[in-house]
Amino acid sequence: MAAVNPNFNDLEGLTLVSSGELFKDQLITMLEFVQMFDDFSEQERSSLANFLKAYEAEKGTVLYREGDSVGHMCLLVEGKLEVYKDVDLTHNKKLAEICPGMSIGEMSVIDGLPNSATVVAGEPSVLILMTREDLQLITHSHPQLGIKLLWRFANLLSQRLRHTSGRLIDRL
């Protein structure tokens, strides 16, 4: 598996697909396929596109390694991501698959703490990345959009916590 360099200057295993004005329309179209932005207006998606970059990930690319701090989230446009949790030093367990339209890594963007799981591209994938710095820039330059985005994160994290709590109760 290829490791991802968290500084975003040289993302091993990832190829930049689009960023900047030249590719803004492509990014806006990609954002339409991400569930998190399904009720965002064209103008809101256009504003977001100014801060984001799209990448292609080869199968096997490690996007997050449990315990590392990378400070970005992935919005999956195409492909599949697999989420693993370390059981011990030599074993891990597959927890989930992330399908197109879904996102992962929101907690890292909000709190900057180390990743709670390892995420690997299960097949060739197209991702939109948002860094912690991107979120800060969005909230400063477009406060209304930043608030809407933070509410979306809070709602998504709340839903995931409720789901996890329900699964935990089933195991007790």
SS3 for 164?
A: helix
Amino acid at 21: E
> C-alpha angle 21/121/170, rounded to 5°?
120
The answer to whether 148 touches 112, Cβ cutoff 8 Å, is no
Q: Give the distance from CA 40 to its chain's centroid.
A: 17
**Of 80, 83, 36, 28, the residue nearest 54 (C-alpha):** 28
pLDDT at 158: 85
Q: Where are the domains of the chain?
A: 14-171
Alpha helices in the chain (DSSP H): 24-31, 42-49, 106-111, 132-141, 143-171
The predicted pLDDT at position 19 comes to 60
Sign of CA dihedral 31, 33, 36, 39: positive
Q: Choose among 78, 83, 88: nearest CA to 160.
A: 83
Q: The domain 14-171: what is its CATH number?
A: 2.60.120.10
CB 81 within 8 A of CB 63: yes
> Pairing relation of β-strands 118-131 and 62-64?
antiparallel
Count of other CB atoms within 10 angstroms of residue 24: 16
Tens place of pLDDT for every residue, the chain, 172 residues?
A: 333 333 333 356 677 776 656 678 888 888 888 888 988 999 999 999 999 989 999 999 999 999 888 889 999 999 999 999 988 878 888 989 999 999 998 888 888 889 889 999 999 999 999 999 999 999 999 999 999 999 998 888 888 788 777 777 777 7
In this predicted structure, what is the pLDDT of residue 51? Answer: 92
CA neighbor of 103 nearest in space, from 123, 125, 87: 125
Indicate the pTM of the whole model. 0.80
